[in-house]
Amino acid sequence: MDELTVEIGGVRTAFMTVEPAVLDVVAARYDGFLSTAPPDWRITVGLRPEGVVDLEDVVVRSAGGLGRLAVERHDFAAILDVPARTGTLALGAVDHVAVDTFLRVTYSLALLEARALLVHAASLGHGPRSWMFPGRSGSGKTTLTRLSPDATLLSDEISIVRLGDDGAARCYGSPFWGELGEAGRNAAVPLAAVHFLRHAESHAATPLTPRQALQSLLPNVLFFAAEPALVARVLEVAGALVERVPCFALGFRPEASVWETIHGA
Amino acid sequence: MPDGYPVQNPRAAWRVYEGEVVIVSPEDSTLHTLNPVGTLIWEAADGRTALASIVGRVCEEFDVDRATAARDALAFVEQLCRRGLLTVLDAPPAA
């Protein structure tokens, strides 16, 4: 069985399989996020005998036992054992879309254990600091990214924010891209502030209290499981984040001068 | 006077910020934020404290007469029951 490891948000996951095509897809899709260090998670990958099935959305349900989850979509079926950090993945279609969707669900769980969240947000670095910009589709994530050619792209769509043992929050480069179709740089950059985006007539950054920030942040956290312990963990990590990092509501018009407002907040 | 013993859904995750509770629904991850009066009722909903007693606490903490507090508290508890966040026991559980 061959093996290939990806490292996302500082958490390494090994794909183990006898199917060379699977590793070809992983190697191509996660170029820049491959690792040779020992994995934290191990996923055994095979093919789904029935191929693609008629199932529209991702379905996540308990597979019996604490932290054991079944994840299914039209193009894959998986079992994840969170406490054991193992899983099995049966691909109905051997392509990057199926693998990427599986990894987004898996990392929403794997990162939580590491006090990290997947957030529907753009994130950009300037020198030694980064900024995260959560927002729903159409809020301006890709627009802001395109207005920031001098910034280090960490993500235009799905950001990774992690609380370190030192108490600091960092944004990690993410391979989960959006409209831009470009992976972030694989780096961890201290998080200076979180700005919740909305289009406006003029630039303005309004400070948010931790409660206001939590209300804005939680709907943007990618999380698929309903297990109470896991939901409580999301709330705990998100709560710690908004208490440690300044948060703002950022109204902006599509001009690069918005960075003056961001830096001045 | 309302009766019964409200108790939180143990599957709900919650935290208090600036005196107001934020609750995540266990079934659909919907976010609920309660005002200070609602927060008092939520925190007191331990299944052992009668709603009438909780109303008494509301009257002590906030400038409201008992009849109004009782009516509003009952409506609030019913609302949270519909959202699956609370249930109301007929009697406190045996120790």
**Which one of A85, A113, A141 terminates a domain?**
A113
Q: Which residues of B touch A228 (CB under 8 A)?
A: 10-13, 26
The residue among A62, A211, A223 with the most chain B CBs within 10 A of its CB, best to mutate, is: A211
A15 and A102 share one domain = yes
The answer on pLDDT for A3 being more than 90 is yes
B29: closest chain A residue by CA? A226
Under 8 Å CB-to-CB from A98, ≥6 apart: which residues?
A73, A75, A76, A91, A92
Percentage with pLDDT > 90 across chain A: 81
B9: closest chain A residue by CA? A228
ipTM of the shown complex: 0.74
What's the predicted TM-score (pTM) here?
0.87
Q: How many angstroms away from the CA of B4 is the closest CA of chain A?
A: 26
A18 and A147 share one domain = no
Q: What is the pLDDT of residue A224?
A: 78
Band (A47; pLDDT cuts 50, 70, 90): very high
pLDDT in tens, B27-84: 777 889 899 999 999 999 999 999 999 999 999 999 899 999 999 999 999 999 999 9
**Which one of A98, A113, A128 terminates a domain?**
A113
The number of CA neighbours under 13 Å toward the Cβ of A141 is 27
Rounded Cα–Cα distance for residues A147 and A122 (Å) = 12
The CATH number that domain B5-89 falls under is: 3.90.930.60
A27 and A129 share one domain = no
Q: Which residues of A touch B33 (CB under 8 A)?
A: 211, 215
A125 and A95 share one domain = no
Q: What is the pLDDT of residue A137?
A: 86
A138 and A247 share one domain = yes
Percentage with pLDDT > 70 across chain B: 98
A12 and A120 share one domain = no
Backbone angles phi, psi at A202, to 5 degrees: -145, 165
A256 and A172 share one domain = yes
B12: closest chain A residue by CA? A228
Domain that holds residue A217: 116-264
A176 and A87 share one domain = no
Number of structural domains in chain A: 2
**Which one of A113, A131, A155 terminates a domain?**
A113
pLDDT in tens, A96-150: 999 999 999 999 999 998 999 999 999 999 999 999 999 988 889 999 999 998 9
Q: What is the pLDDT of residue B2?
A: 62
Q: Which residues of B touch A231 (CB under 8 A)?
A: 13, 24, 26, 29
Give the residue carrying structure tokens 């095509």: A21
A182 and A211 share one domain = yes
